[in-house]
Amino acid sequence: MIGALLIAAAVGVVAGAAIAHFWKNIVQWLNKVFAKVKQVIQRTVVGVQTFLRRDSGGYRNMSYNYSKLDNGNYRRDTVVETEYVDESDVPEEFVRRMQAMNLSQTETTDELQRQLDTLQLQNA
């Protein structure tokens, strides 16, 4: 019984580390995206939606980045990560959601916000 609990705890730690790594990579990628969008359109990103996209090559991160223009309208730039994310690095909940609903992409914005909030609390 204790052995089973130790194994389950070890699996949980490994899964937690993989998920933390996944989110860390997304945050690093988004920072690069924001810098590039700002450089190209000379505007600051004021909003973002993030997605996980699956195609024939695997999984990739995608974002819609919103910037406010001088005329008050908003511009949406779509950025798709060029490198694929290994399925083993994708949180299982996203893989299950996409498979169950036969989706080619799923929004990850709320989950990303929770991860960012958690990181801010840990760093406070």
What is the structure's pLDDT at 25? 79
- Which residue, among 124, 119, 122, 120, has the nearest Cα to 23 in the 3D structure? 119
Residue 10, pLDDT > 50, answer no
For 21-57, write each residue's pLDDT tens digit. 777 877 887 777 767 766 766 777 788 898 999 998 8
What is the structure's pLDDT at 102? 92
Residue 12, pLDDT > 70, answer no
Which of the four pLDDT bands, split at 50, 70 and 90, describes residue 8?
very low
Query: What average pLDDT is seen over the chain?
Result: 77
- The overall pTM is greater than 0.85: no
What is the structure's pLDDT at 99? 92
How many Å apart are CA 121 and CA 113, to the nearest integer? Answer: 12
How many Å apart are CA 93 and CA 64, to the nearest integer? Answer: 22
Extract the tokens encoding 67: 């910037």
- Which residue, among 111, 113, 63, 54, has the nearest Cα to 86 in the 3D structure? 54
Query: Could you tell me which residues come within 8 angstroms of residue 89 by beta carbon, excluding any fewer than 6 positions away?
Result: 18, 21, 22, 25
